A and B are shown apart, each in its own frame.
Chain A
Amino acid sequence: MSIDSLKGLFLDRQDILDIEPGEPNFDRELALQFSPRNRGSVRLSLGLFYTREEWQQRRKELMEKPLP
């Protein structure tokens, strides 16, 4: 028995490797909802991250802000 025996058990597709992962679509609320199951980043579990829109906004502000 090998890991190969699990291939194709869940999706009837032969091209799994060629499927593009696509853009992640999640916000803070969704991240917090799944945080009890998350064994990965503590920051993501705590909602400590920038969403794409938040980072674009912050990036713009920082670029425009003059130095003292």
Chain B
Amino acid sequence: MAGEAAFAEEDVPSLKRIADYYEVTKELILFAEQVDPLNKTLPQPINELRNCLDHLMRVVSSRLGGRKAQHGGDYAKTNMDKAYGHVYRAAYDTLDWVSLTLKGRIIDELEPFSVDTIQAALPEYYSRIRPRLETILIEDVAQLRMDKDVGLPGEENLVRYGEVAAELKKLFFEVVNAKSALIEHHLRLRSSARRGVLRDIAVGTAGGVAVLAITLAITLLVSSC
């Protein structure tokens, strides 16, 4: 009966929450695919979204008169909770992917350069950026992962993880924006090192020639006496 088939009032906040998580997860997946160094995607969160859809369809079918309509309210509620669990894991796994990928990208951007170059071209790296990265990666993210592992899938935990990932993104772009200065300093150092080597060779050669000339002169002097 069309008149009886309807979502319950209690469904609305749950559906809105699932939709919000889905939107955030989709944004994170698109961002992660862009920032991944090999442009790869990660099917695991997509699989979580598929599972979320599966449970959501059970809710819809139950509420709107499909085959599952004969089940009681618990059936819909149980499946709504499971749908939330899956979209939560999708968001969480994607945040994990984003944060680790950003860490990898920061390392990739800086690894070719010496400590001196990084210090000269990105003066705040060792004083501010790196300590913050260490705090984020070693303390914040590790704690968030631990909280998840002990089974506390709260919204607060996920929002905190999202904020931490957003800060990582900001720090990553600070490093990326310093790339031209890093390259410039690196090239300057290399060319000055090359000039130094050439100077050393020139000085060494001149010294050798002088010693040879003096030796020759002394030899000639001695032999003429």
Contact of B118 among A21, A48, A50, A68 (CB under 8 A): A68
Q: Is the CB of B118 within 8 A of A41?
A: no
Asked if A65 CB lies within 8 Å of chain B CBs, one says yes
Contact with B along A5-31 (1 / 0, CB 8 A): 001000000100110110110000000
Distance of A65 Cα from B40 Cα, bound (Å): 20
Report the Cα distance A7→B115, complex, angstroms.
Answer: 66
A32: CB under 8 A from chain B? Answer: no
Is A18 within 8 A of B104, CB to CB? no
User: Does B47 interact with chain A (Cβ within 8 Å)?
Assistant: yes
CA distance A49 to B68 in the complex (A): 36
The interface on chain B, measured as residues whose beta carbon lies within 8 A of the other chain's beta carbons, has a size of 35
CA gap between A62 and B99 in the complex, in Å: 10
Tell me if B100 and A63 are in contact (CB < 8 A). yes
Cα(A43)–Cα(B115), bound, Å: 37
Q: How far is the CB of B174 from chain A (nearest CB, A)?
A: 14
Q: Is the Cβ of B106 less than 8 Å from the Cβ of A44?
A: no
Is B96's CB under 8 angstroms from A59's CB?
yes
Instruction: Check: B57 CB closer than 8 A to any chain A CB.
Output: yes
CA of A52 to CA of B43, assembled, Å = 8
Contacting pair B100 A43 (CB below 8 A): no
A67 touching B134, Cβ below 8 Å: yes
Total number of A-B contacts with CB less than 8 angstroms? Answer: 67
How distant is the Cα of A61 from the Cα of B201 in the complex, in angstroms? 44
Q: How many residues of A contact B (CB 8 A)?
A: 23
Q: How far is the CB of B58 from chain A (nearest CB, A)?
A: 5
**Known A50-B40, A62-B104: A68·B57 in contact at CB below 8 Å:** no
Q: Are B41 and A49 touching (Cβ within 8 A)?
A: yes
State whether A62 touches B38 (Cβ < 8 A): no
The listed residue (B39, B57, B115) touching A48 by CB distance below 8 A is B39
- Chain B 97-133: CB-based contact to A (< 8 A → 1; otherwise 0): 1001101101100110101001000000000001001
* A67, B43: Cβ atoms closer than 8 Å: no
Indicate if B16 sits at the interface (CB-CB under 8 A).
Answer: no
**Contact, CB under 8 Å: A43 / B40:** yes
Residue of B nearest to A7 (CB): B67
Is there contact, CB below 8 Å, between A62 and B41?
Answer: no
Partner of B47, one of A23, A41, A55, A67: A23
Q: How far is the CA of A21 from the CA of B83 in the complex (A)?
A: 13
The interface residues of chain A lying within 8 Å CB-to-CB of B134 are 67
Set of chain A residues within 8 Å of B130, measured between Cβ atoms = 67
Across the A-B interface, give the 8 residue pairs with the lowest CB-CB distance, nearest first: A68-B110, A43-B41, A62-B100, A49-B41, A48-B40, A62-B104, A17-B58, A50-B42
16 contacts between A and B (CB under 8 A): A14-B67, A17-B57, A21-B47, A21-B54, A49-B41, A49-B42, A49-B43, A50-B40, A50-B41, A52-B44, A55-B42, A59-B96, A62-B103, A67-B106, A67-B133, A68-B110
